[in-house]
């Protein structure tokens, strides 16, 4: 699946996220966040080679999905499978860190 380019303000509920089948990469952040913008060129190539659902969620005060995951810094990447958090990466600064996170999905897929 391709990487999403824009953060959605219409976040699913926590129950909807927990009910998703297979692997999902949640990305919490905002379009104006410098750290979020810097991570995009690192994330794109890593996502291009994988069949992985990517939910790009705009986060901020009062946003229930981000609070349910205790997101404090942006971007926060959370790898999930069948509603269970497998790993998280906060403010990635290298493509290697993102690859290491996503490789966990590769390893569990077989």
6-62 confidence digits (pLDDT tens):
999 999 999 999 999 999 999 999 999 999 999 999 999 999 888 899 999 999 999
Overall average pLDDT of the 77-104 stretch: 95
pLDDT, residue 86, reads 95
For the chain, what is the domain count?
Answer: 1
Q: Is residue 53 part of a domain?
A: yes
Please check whether residue 7 is in contact with residue 32, taking contact to mean a CB–CB distance below 8 angstroms: no
Overall average pLDDT of the 99-110 stretch: 85
Q: Is residue 74 part of a domain?
A: yes
User: Is the four-CA dihedral 5, 75, 92, 97 of positive or negative sign?
Assistant: negative
Of 45, 25, 32, 42, residue with least CA distance to 6? 32
**pTM (2 d.p.):** 0.94
Q: Is residue 2 part of a domain?
A: no
Q: Is residue 83 part of a domain?
A: yes
Q: Domain range holding 99?
A: 14-108
Q: Is 18 exposed, middle or buried (0-12, 13-18, 19+ CB in 10 A)?
A: middle
- Cα 60 from Cα 3, distance rounded (Å): 21
Q: Is residue 8 part of a domain?
A: no
User: Residue 46 is part of a domain; what is its CATH number?
Assistant: 3.40.30.10
Q: Is residue 40 part of a domain?
A: yes
Q: Is residue 6 part of a domain?
A: no
Q: Is residue 1 part of a domain?
A: no
């Amino acid at each position: 699946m391709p990487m999403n380019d824009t953060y959605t303000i219409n976040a699913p509920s926590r129950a909807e996220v927990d009910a998703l089948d297979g692997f999902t990469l949640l990305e919490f952040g905002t379009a104006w966040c410098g750290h979020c913008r810097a991570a995009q060129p690192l994330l794109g190539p890593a996502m291009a080679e994988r069949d992985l659902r990517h939910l790009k969620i705009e986060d901020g005060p009062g946003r229930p999905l981000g609070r349910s995951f205790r997101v404090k810094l942006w971007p926060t990447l959370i790898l999930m499978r069948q509603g269970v958090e497998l790993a998280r990466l906060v403010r990635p600064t290298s493509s290697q860190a993102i690859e290491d996170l996503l490789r966990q999905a590769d390893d569990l897929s077989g």
